[in-house]
Structure 1
């Protein structure tokens, strides 16, 4: 029997270091689908003779307009071809490889032909420049095709322009038109992208239209090895090639789809992250996960694999090497459970040394539940398939009472309530600070853009001047402090301030989850026209996330203002919001391109915000406020805190809980009420509000001061409660429902002293029933029998009451005086005989 365990986000376990090859195998299917062009052993231009090659490279279109450049290229081609002729090979490519020039990165290769020229006695002072020009002509003329890693170690100032002249004028013209249609700030990025594309032509041959998706992936892989840094400039060329339409329609929207973090691991890869020593147990866990895979999403499957392989069996093997059975000794099971309660991690202290820090594992019982489900599932499956699962069916080392979470739920509820109570009062401070920060950053950026480079920015009291940054990206505006010279990226500061404000506003006004925030698109903003009045009501459509249910939220004026600001910002000079392919960090898949509302420009690429980026925005926004918690530490907000605050604030202001449940998309109202924090004063205020509402619904004259007559009538009611056989317990102002037939009334409290009278009534009723039956008064018999049943019930009550009064219970109360007397007697000294 499987236990339902909720997926809990936690820090990743320590796993073996994944190499680039292992990471690439995760998307091997995608790479197989888009392969790179293989290297050709020979082609037309590399097989020409020296004279034919020299003749070709000194004729149009290889003739530049400047005579000096033309002469230098001709001399360089001649020298390089003569040098390469000294190496064995049937083609110039084979001779180039045999020369070993690619073993010298950057410009160091030129030392090889320079040494040969000196040995030949034909060395000149301008040989170095000639050889560089000659190599450029050999590469652009497709005489040789160097390897990508070696080409990336060099600077190529003229490679793209020469390729545009001699190799593919039409392709580079289209690329130039694409750059001209984009913003002016991205012109420098376009030049870098053109150089990357020219590098592909140099190493792979052909024209731009011949470049494949696999070629681009191979280039990016080489860039990761040669240049660990480089950011967006590494992959911008792919976006431009895709925009030219040379790739298939099913090509990924971004080359990051081939990155090292892509793809769902297979079940075997999920388990093998922890290098389990016992192969049978490893295979058992793989079979178990494969059996459960159809009913789980990838995030849940990943969580269960981490628990079973990482937190359970890997720890068991660490505690008791050589263990090969699920039947754990009691001592080993206890030791593992105790270790599971603590989470250890290594942090770097202020002195720079690594320190191991231990903290309680808050979800320890969730991990125990998964292991217990593992044992119980195997036991159940063993009854259905004895041959397969029977050998592994053993008693579970985790008892049922070890996974009870009642106290844990209460503690978690208390922690969350305290967290909400601590953050709800300061939410207006955070909102106001974020808004002011956004406006100030926007004003500073605009002032800097209107300022000449090197001049002091107005409105900064002379503390900032606009930086002179010729190598910076054109869309970025930099400033530097006049006192210390520290540089600041004002464009980044403005973007961060705006998106922090937008995230805070949308989260607090809607109460949606973080993943729902990141999935909001332009299509999520819809409208509904009321059929009666024709009024247009704006609505926000929330895509199914955790509960797989779609819902619509009413857009308030504040939320409408924020959403319109976001949409206007994303549109810019364009008429439509860019389509963005977002990566699902939980399911490890790429979603199709959508007009996401939370996206940003990185270079020429539009990227979706990630959960980590949203958390970083909140951290930086809170740092500006200076808010602290009760311990004096910096106050932190998580995206889910806004959801709890939203529910608490809504219910405190009168929103019915079941409406809040629908708005939040909870399946059960208990979940909604669990989000609501209860304040100590709230209980008293709620009771007072209830009294007020009750009084408002009743006649006001009932709450005035009573008159003398009304008071006398109230006192007379208690005097009239006394009857012959007991006391009437009916409330004041209520009539007698049985018309004074007290024996029948359940409100009669019989008096034990009147038992004899009640017995007489009982006997009289029996005699009257006999008489009625004898005379044929059947209509009266039924009423007398009801009264007889009431009398018998009252007699039974009296008998029980009298028996209780006669019973005595010895409570064992000590007789203090006797004890004191005996103690005194024992303590007194004996009298002398």
Structure 2
């Protein structure tokens, strides 16, 4: 797993302050520590609280003195309290009876809080996470850095300062000071990054750490090249080296592992990171790791035909988990659609090694070997046809229901807005009814505006009307932008306020354009903004603007290249816990699924019809071409490099092709003289019909073209265009016999010219009879379909015995 690799790389660039074992406060004597705690600002005002603190301090110091070390910090780390943070006070209470002392847990907790405020000991992050105390932040702020905390709190906006998220951020800063010492101005990037990355108990969220980091960064405390946010830093991998990409698969053969790493390093300058990662997954995972699993001990890429065939057989299928309609999950074996691409990559790997071996034999020569995959096995024509058919079927199934989906998205947004408006108008603790639903407002709210977003419905279930309105809005905005532009989901997430530009035509008119940033094909393009699209973009901009009327600048993460983009005024952004972040692709898909469930749209089998963001792109291209947009213009709008890709997206119906052909014929007729398309007269039509009547003959039918005369002077037996059927066989046989008799007579009388003419007619008659007999034989004979007979299937016979 590569999760957390980005945080590790950032910690190398921005290391945290070292954890010391000695400093003036921890090197003080017992009496000096007690004396400091009795003086302001470490002394608290309440006498009872101060007494409780000092009781706990004396017991803890006495207990720490039983462990080796020159400072209190060294004794702390040598004690079991540092290694076992859960219920640490029990360790101390087990010791107190040995010195005839007894104490309460509250005294120990108060005493330890006093030692932390006095910077006598510094526990690690995990220890503080397990023993979280709400008293740490105010106590430490007052004793350690009252000016720094006061300045920071005055800088935080009022509507943010009163929220629990701000309290969590201030508490995180206090914990950093408790573990690293110093004041707020001494905190570095690595301190908060380590606090965010360190494994903490109970899966405590890092929301406060991220918000505190944003505060200090905006105040200019961190260097300019510091990360703009710590959002999901601990989960992201970032760009790692080829060696780490290969080592994910724990290959056993180190020479082959080294070969794969060297190959990736050689290819890295010409590839983007997403392609490099995919290449490593195929070569190290799908190829060599599979070989090592099924053929233990393999140590050469020169594969025998048996091993290569076995690998290709395993590659052809995959095991997948499918969720059924009732919620159960089953395991199925299905064809692997990526098998041809994997084979092509492996073949390219072998061919590259062979080519490089010619120029660098000392480096690649030992690995040169014939590829285990032939060129014919890399063919993807059948797969492409299958994918095209599947894509067209999806488009044809979803395009007719798109208007219904749009109506449901608009209705859900209106209903969610009406419920939220009714909630904002209702007083705390009241009950209100909207759209036939009854809700109960809580009696108190922790929100700065005093309006809660969570309510209870009639069934007592809690509902967040604010979250419902946000998801409904972003679902509506995504659907509208998708269907009016045909852009990809990653391009939707990269839309910014700078993407909306105006263009002045030579006529002086100004038209709005939407600039699509380079994405999958690294091709920038412009799309004309229609009035419907302008309404959607206007609603989005109005929603994301801050109090100054500007769209805030926020960073975004490139999921493909694993890098952070510079802060931009992204349109798809929102505020969560007072932290501006982009609207994620998963949220867009979830909001789209919610809209589909609300619509009740089903497919032909009765199951809910699912939409993917890319389905809108196919529907946009199909609808544009069907409405007359030239394919090469659709190619430019879609951002495709090849027009065949654009036509692959277009699901053209056969009826549409017929209509287009008819329209083409109509346009071609407009270019021809009108007299060629005049209406025929009655005489012409009667003459046309009588032509076919004149084709009927005693020996069959004449097949000459319309409007032509007979070129054989009605010698039909000799004519090659005479069409004969089985019914004329007897008549032709009579003519043949008559011709034979006449030829015999002419030969007796010596009429040689007559013999020659009659012989020609006899040959033509016999040819016509042969044609009829061939037709009759073909009609009566059976055709072998390739199915074996019963005698061919049996391998032995058996007879019944009486």
How many residues are matched?
714
Distance 1:77 1:408, change over 3 A: closer
Match of 2:364 in 1: 389
Match of 1:204 in 2: 180
CA deviations 1:350-406 (Å, max 9, x no partner) are: 999975321111222111111121222223223333333333333323222222222
Residues 368 and 398, structure 1, Cα contact 8 Å, conserved in 2: yes
Distance 1:521 1:476, change over 3 A: farther
Residues 138 and 144, structure 1, Cα contact 8 Å, conserved in 2: yes
Q: 2:649 aligns with which of 658, 675, 691?
A: 675
Select between 58-67 and 509-518 the one with higher mean Cα deviation: 58-67
Distance, in Å, in 2 between the alignment partners of 1:173 and 1:572 is: 26
Residues 1:595 and 2:595 aligned together? no
Match of 1:577 in 2: 551
Secondary structure at 1:255's aligned position in 2?
A: coil
Correspondence list, 1:803-822, <5 A: none
How far off its partner does 1:46 sit? 1.9
Distance, in Å, in 2 between the alignment partners of 1:438 and 1:624 is: 12
Distance, in Å, in 2 between the alignment partners of 1:406 and 1:115 is: 76
Distance, in Å, in 2 between the alignment partners of 1:820 and 1:688 is: 43
Distance, in Å, in 2 between the alignment partners of 1:819 and 1:132 is: 105
Residues 1:479 and 2:455 aligned together? yes
Match of 1:456 in 2: 431
Distance 1:183 1:194, change over 3 A: closer
Distance, in Å, in 1 between the alignment partners of 2:147 and 2:351 is: 68
Residues 1:411 and 2:386 aligned together? yes
Q: 1:277 aligns with which of 233, 252, 260?
A: 252
Distance, in Å, in 1 between the alignment partners of 2:120 and 2:388 is: 72
Secondary structure at 1:592's aligned position in 2?
A: strand
Match of 1:567 in 2: 541
Distance 1:813 1:255, change over 3 A: farther
Distance, in Å, in 2 between the alignment partners of 1:545 and 1:138 is: 55
Match of 2:662 in 1: 688
Distance, in Å, in 2 between the alignment partners of 1:617 and 1:232 is: 24
Match of 2:795 in 1: none
Q: 1:38 aligns with which of 14, 18, 31?
A: 18
Q: What TM-score does the superposition give when structure 1 sets the normalisation length?
A: 0.78
CA deviations 1:182-239 (Å, max 9, x no partner) are: 447x6211011111110111111100011111111221223x3313242634533222
Distance 1:334 1:117, change over 3 A: closer
Correspondence list, 1:638-653, <5 A: 638-653=612-627
How far off its partner does 1:83 sit? 4.4
Residues 1:136 and 2:113 aligned together? yes
Distance, in Å, in 2 between the alignment partners of 1:414 and 1:598 is: 33
How far off its partner does 1:697 sit? 5.2
Secondary structure at 1:338's aligned position in 2?
A: helix
Residues 1:216 and 2:195 aligned together? no
Distance, in Å, in 2 between the alignment partners of 1:625 and 1:402 is: 45
CA deviations 1:778-807 (Å, max 9, x no partner) are: xxxxxxxxxxxxxxxxxxxxxxxxxxx9xx
Match of 1:604 in 2: 578
Distance 1:402 1:120, change over 3 A: closer
Q: 2:240 aligns with which of 238, 247, 265?
A: 265
How far off its partner does 1:486 sit? 1.9
Correspondence list, 1:53-68, <5 A: 53-68=33-48
Distance 1:646 1:58, change over 3 A: same
Distance, in Å, in 2 between the alignment partners of 1:319 and 1:99 is: 50
Q: Which runs of 5+ in 2 are unaligned?
A: 690-705, 714-763, 782-802
Residues 657 and 669, structure 1, Cα contact 8 Å, conserved in 2: yes
Match of 2:264 in 1: 289
Distance, in Å, in 1 between the alignment partners of 2:269 and 2:366 is: 24
Distance, in Å, in 2 between the alignment partners of 1:812 and 1:377 is: 65
Match of 2:748 in 1: none
Distance, in Å, in 2 between the alignment partners of 1:568 and 1:429 is: 26
Residues 1:51 and 2:38 aligned together? no
Distance, in Å, in 1 between the alignment partners of 2:779 and 2:588 is: 75
Match of 2:507 in 1: 532
CA deviations 1:616-650 (Å, max 9, x no partner) are: 22222212111122222221111111111001101
Match of 1:298 in 2: 273
Match of 1:325 in 2: 300
Residues 1:100 and 2:76 aligned together? no
Residues 375 and 393, structure 1, Cα contact 8 Å, conserved in 2: yes
Distance 1:174 1:700, change over 3 A: farther
How far off its partner does 1:95 sit? 3.4
Q: 1:111 aligns with which of 84, 90, 94?
A: 90
Distance, in Å, in 2 between the alignment partners of 1:204 and 1:267 is: 35
Q: What TM-score does the superposition give when structure 2 sets the normalisation length?
A: 0.81
How far off its partner does 1:121 sit? 4.3
Distance 1:122 1:372, change over 3 A: closer
Residues 232 and 602, structure 1, Cα contact 8 Å, conserved in 2: no
Match of 1:553 in 2: 527
CA RMSD of aligned residues (A): 3.6
Q: 1:157 aligns with which of 121, 129, 134?
A: 134
Distance, in Å, in 2 between the alignment partners of 1:811 and 1:396 is: 57
Correspondence list, 1:705-744, <5 A: 705-706=679-680
Q: 2:488 aligns with which of 482, 489, 513?
A: 513
Distance 1:551 1:335, change over 3 A: same
Distance 1:321 1:83, change over 3 A: closer
How far off its partner does 1:509 sit? 0.6
Distance 1:510 1:165, change over 3 A: same
Residues 62 and 166, structure 1, Cα contact 8 Å, conserved in 2: yes
Distance 1:205 1:632, change over 3 A: same
Match of 2:164 in 1: 188
